[in-house]
A and B are shown apart, each in its own frame.
Chain A
Amino acid sequence: DAGVTQSPTHLIKTRGQQVTLRCSPKSGHDTVSWYQQALGQGPQFIFQYYEEEERQRGNFPDRFSGHQFPNYSSELNVNALLLGDSALYLCASSQWTSGRGTDTQYFGPGTRLTVL
């Protein structure tokens, strides 16, 4: 049973460019959450997708957008990259539970983005 997978592993971009990161959830999971982890910090919640809709969003600008596909996989897009966007981007998958959102979240290995 494959866990959460993310691609690419590493990415180098320059300021102003756009980037797309991809995530496939764990088998049996239908919800995907994205987090940004700066060096030496805990992960910060970006947003969560369920049934192809953004269900909840953290304190991130509109430059950060996402999408969920019918097979539950998800993409994170970041436009107009800034130096401060350099971080490890983590995808977490879970099973939606009516009334309380989602159950336990399992994380993928992350995509390390460097913005020069």
Chain B
Amino acid sequence: QKEVEQDPGPLSVPEGAIVSLNCTYSNSAFQYFMWYRQYSRKGPELLMYTYSSGNKEDGRFTAQVDKSSKYISLFIRDSQPSDSATYLCAMRTYNQGGKLIFGQGTELSVKP
């Protein structure tokens, strides 16, 4: 079983839709949670960074962490065609240095 599970999609939505992306994990020691966006043939770009449980909002993006359920989510409001990319969740423990554990990534397509 992988430490981090993420549905690879692809996920296709119309422009303006609310998008929900999710990851589950098995290691209860994970405390730092990140969402990265990766356009085709590019490096991952950090979108959201949260510590422990709770919600964090940044513009059209909201990240949620539920440590009791070992479940994290990223919501995108008013989705745009420019949001079409692969979204990667990543996480790490407090003292495990820089080792990020990534999900497989979800491919999102927003249709005009």
Please list the residues of chain A having a beta carbon within 8 angstroms of any beta carbon in chain B: 4, 31, 33, 35, 40-45, 48, 55-56, 58, 88, 90, 92, 94, 99-102, 104-110, 112
Contacts and interface: CB of A to CB of B under 8 A. Distances in A.
Given A42-B6, A107-B36, A109-B42, A48 B97 contact: yes
11 contacts: A33-B98, A40-B8, A42-B4, A44-B102, A88-B41, A100-B94, A101-B92, A101-B95, A101-B97, A107-B43, A107-B45
Interface in B53-112: 88, 90, 92, 94-105
Contact of A48 (B8, B44, B49, B99): B99
Nearest to B41: A112
A84 B86 CA distance: 22
Nearest to A4: B43
B45 A101 contact: no
Contacts of B105: 40-42
Contacts of B99: 33, 45, 48, 56, 58
A101 B96 contact: yes
B18 interface: no
Nearest to A107: B43
Nearest to B107: A40
A105 B97 CA distance: 11
Given A43-B88, A45-B99, A110-B43, 7 more contacts: A41-B105, A42-B6, A42-B90, A58-B99, A106-B46, A107-B36, A110-B42
Interface in B22-46: 34, 36, 41-46
Given A42-B104, A42-B105, A104-B46, A94 B6 contact: no
A43 B44 contact: yes
Contacts of B95: 99-101
Contacts of A107: 36, 43-46
Contacts of B88: 42-43
A100 B36 CA distance: 21
B23 to A, nearest CB: 10
Contacts of B8: 40
B6 to A, nearest CB: 7
